[in-house]
Amino acid sequence: MSPETALLVAAFGPLVTAVLVALLGRWPNLREAATLVTSTGVFAVVAGVLYPAVVAGDRPHRLLVEVMAGLELSFTLEPLGLVFALVATSLWPITSLYAAGYLRGHGEINQTRFFICFALAISGALGVAFAGNVFTLFVFYEAITLSTFPLVTHKGDEASMRSGRTYLGILMGTSICFLLFAVVWTQLAAGTTDFTPGGILGDLPEHHVPLLLALFAFGTAKAALMPFHRWLPAAMVAPTPVSALLHAVAVVKAGVFTITKVVVYVFGLETLRTTGASQWLVAVAAFTLLSASVVALFQDNLKRRLAYSTISQLAYIVLGAALVSDRAVLGAGLHIVTHAFGKITLFFCAGAVMVGAHRKYVSQLDGLGWRMPFTFGAFLIGSLSIIGIPPFAGAWSKWWLAGGALEAENVPILGLYMVSSLLAVGYLMPVVARAFATRPDPSTFEDDPVSEPWMCVLPPVVTAVGCLVIFFGIDPMVALLEGVLP
């Protein structure tokens, strides 16, 4: 299979999954088997065909359709897009297995619709990853929003519908008001929207650069920069597999990926360094990083605590891109990977606790670790990775981000990274401490027995092991991302 064909197979393979799921909806085992087989196949195409091609220096390109002269829907794969594609496709089958166990354990309705929309969201994420220009990225970015709305409102109750309105209102509103305007402006200013090494806005007046960057940054509300972050904690009413999808596999990663790719391939690092046009974004990302960490400290609902943690961790990526130093941008790309594996582990564990122990508040977790050792062991590993403790994956991305702050001669940001890591200790480690601090009286669980369903426990154990494996196997990812730098 040629790399050009592989682009189409990977991007639209999830659509085949959606069709199979719809046809097999009456037979849950076959439905979920089809999801696992096809999702694994898509990952095999990305890892087995596209990865070797890009590492070898190839940049596979495929024209989808020419909308009008100078405006195309097209795919072009480069290293940063490949990183996002590897994250999305590697975590898709794991999340699908987890979703099957969670939805069955909770007796959720509309399970077939869930898996259809999940597959459509992955297709949208891969379209974003493969986008050869800003216009194509915009189209698939909106496809993610529309396909995940039914997931956010999955339960169909008033709380879900209210959260869904917040979700759709913020994401679609910012896209139409800001991101679409940015796409049009880019086309008019540069005569193209193609992603190009070094950027395409060399002729844009210097005083226009910060404004256009603001349209991209705030138009990409999936990155959850304040004040356009409320959709993310609001969406926590959705089933936990949706939370995992939102926080690790597709949605928020599409947001921070978009900002990073626009910084590198639309504006160009040298243009932003010369003009200083991204300094305001450094300040906004720094405020988001710190304030979300503080809010997370006071959340008793475990999923909301993790949601505010995600807002903070996403700001690491935006901040790395906004610093526009080579090491910081590389660190931002690495953090897309390391945060994905760490945070999906934490959400998997939160869902396992809901299924196995029917608890969702941190204050209810006392002694539960002794009854759910695999779940809380995985939570500990995921937490250490998010905090940035070796030998877990997050240590490397934070190391590169810290080095990027020094390279950019921004010592206050280096200090901020240290403070935020301490705050992460403050909002994550108490979860583990409460779970193992006391040995509960067995009679505590007589009326409400605790279990660890294997379909809800195996996935977080796998992703927790992934945090360890990535730490020791980081060199190929660093080498790949070095291809993003000028």
Task: Give the model confidence (pLDDT) of 91-111 as tens digits.
Answer: 999 988 888 888 877 667 788
Q: H or E element: which one contains 71? A: strand 71-76
φ/ψ region of 268 (left if φ > 0, alpha if ψ in -120 to 50, else beta) reads: left
What residues contact 157, with CB distance under 8 A and at least 6 apart? Answer: none
pLDDT band at 446 (very low <50, low <70, confident <90, very high): low
Task: Provide the token pair at 239.
Answer: 């089933």
Highest mean pLDDT, choosing among 41-55, 88-102, 361-375 = 41-55
pLDDT in tens, 309-342: 999 999 999 999 999 999 999 999 999 999 999 9
Binned at pLDDT 50, 70 and 90, residue 140 comes out as very high
Neighbours of 114 (CB within 10 A): 22
Cα 149 to Cα 305: distance, rounded to the nearest angstrom: 22
Percent of the chain with pLDDT over 70: 95
Handedness of CA 362, 148, 24, 459 (dihedral sign): negative
Catalogue the long-range contacts made by 22-30 (C-beta closer than 8 Å, 24 or more residues apart): 22/112, 22/116, 25/112, 28/100, 28/104, 28/111
- pLDDT value at residue 305: 93
Measured CA to CA, the distance from residue 346 to residue 466 in angstroms comes to 13
Residue 235: what pLDDT?
A: 77
pLDDT at 468: 95
Burial grade of 52 (CB within 10 A; 0-12, 13-18, 19 or more) = exposed
pTM value is 0.93
Q: Name the band, by pLDDT with cuts 50, 70 and 90, for residue 249.
A: confident
